[in-house]
Each structure stands twice: as C-alpha cells, then as structure tokens.
Structure 1
C-alpha cells in the first residue's frame, strides 16, 4: 500500500488571510464547522454553545458600534470656515496686537470691528475684519450683534 506524505500536501495549502482580526463571517464559519464536526456521542454542552453565541452577538454589536462611531467622527470634522461662518456680519472685540512682537500691546487696547469673511490657515479659522485686520478665533474677547444704524 502506498502512503501519502501529508506534510507536502498541507504545506502547499492556502492558509487564508494573515490578519489577526476575526470577522463575524469567519466566526460563524468556525462555529458551524465546530457543530458539524462534533462528536455525536459527546455533543457540545449547551453552556458552551450559548457562550459562543453570546460572543458572536457581542462581536456583531461592537462592529456596529465601531461603524457608528466612525460615521459620527466623520460628521464632526467640519471645516473651520463652515464652523465659524455664523460670525460673518457680527461685531467682534479683540486686543490690539503689536505687529512687530505679535504680543498684546500694553496698555491693553480693545478694538471692535465687523467680521466680513472667514478663511482658513493651517487648519485654524481666521476672521477677516472690515478694517482689513485678520485675527484667529481664539483672540476674540466678545461677539455682538452689530449696532442698528
């Protein structure tokens, strides 16, 4: 009788993906294979089966929650221009900045002007004012409705 060298056969078999994550499809396949191939004289205990089904249910819920959180994060990442667009037409107050040093001038002088546009610089919103000044949103001291003329 001729014997078959199983090491050659098994070494050439595809092993599937090498990723360490197990999806719900793979989990179900493993569970079904386990049920099909169990010993009929010593079947899987009810507790084990319930435990595995609970694990599967938990896995499915986590995947759903991950998808929901990913969608939420994508919806929250709004351009700073859009995020601060409601300031257009409003009056903002801010401290006068020394153009040479970039620091607040002493004594502190408050300037009030109207926002005419919003732009973006390096991911931050920049308010463009009627007096041709540009300030970052973190420089705002006060926001007001413009005085009625």
Structure 2
C-alpha cells in the first residue's frame, strides 16, 4: 500500500527563514573560509587537482588585490576632496565672474554672466561649493574670472 505524502513536506509549502543580517557580498574572508572548508572535506582518494587549487588561489589573490585597490582609491578620493577644499579657500574675499543658468521669457535655458564676492567655501553634497556674498552657491567650474578687489 502506498501512503500519501504529507503536504507539509512539499517544497512549494516550505517557507524558508531568511537571514536578516550580514552582507550578500562575498569578501576575502568568506572566500578563504570556503577554500579551507573545501580542503578539509575533500575526498582523500581523489584530492583536489593542482590546477583547481592554483586557480582558486589566483581568484583569492585577485579578490584581495581588488579590495586593497578599492580601499586605496577611497583614501585617495578623500584626500583629493580635502585638498580641493583647502585650495578653494584661497578664493574667499575674491571677486569672481561666473556663469549662471537662467530661463528666459521663451522658457529657454540661457547662460548669464554674474559677478560676486566669495564669502565662504564649503563641502556640500559630495562637492566643494563657493558661497557668494548674496547667499547663492556655485561650483568652481562655473567661475570664468577671478580678481582681487584689494589690488
């Protein structure tokens, strides 16, 4: 006699619990753990081939180098931003002519030249901004002329 399979055991009715913490990205530590586990659990009568092991070690080495490169690039970008902020601080008190985008009567975007004095330099939304004496904020890319009002 054949017994009926319980519906509770069917895959379609199975609700897996998911892990809510951690990352879904494998890092170099995870890769190394997988490699060690693989080596510990390999069949002694048929060990991992040298080519496979070398390929996995090369992958691990590449992953480690990419991680190190990413950290170095992040440090470089932070340094560049700090250097730019310090460099732009020399513009405080300078008279600048800059291009500002406005909309004319027909609704067309037009570049207009404006002048103002730089009051402050600040870091906002990931970039260095120049705050003008009228309170407006511009980027250094908008500046087309710098003059020293003291001279």
Unpaired stretches in structure 1, ≥5 consecutive residues: 1-14, 96-100
Hey, what's the Cα distance between the residues in 1 that align with 2:31 and 2:143?
54
Paired residues for 1:109-148 under 5 Å: 115=117, 117-118=119-120, 124-128=129-133, 136-137=137-138, 140-146=143-149, 148=151
Alignment match, 2:88:
84
Alignment pair present for 1:50 and 2:54? yes
Between structures 1 and 2, the one with greater strand share = 2
2:45 alignment counterpart:
41
Give the match for residue 98 of structure 1: none
SS at match of 2:24: coil
Larger Rg: 1
Determine the structure 2 residue equivalent to 1:25.
29
Distance 2:23 2:111 in 1: 55
TM-score normalised per structure 2:
0.54
Cα distance in structure 1, aligned partners of 2:29 and 2:38: 14
Mind listing any 5+ residue stretches in structure 2 that lack a counterpart?
1-17, 100-104
Superposition RMSD on alpha carbons, in Å? 4.1
Aligned length: 119
SS in 2 for 1:142: strand
Q: Cα deviation per residue 1:51-71 (whole Å; 9 max; x = unaligned)?
A: 000010111111112222222
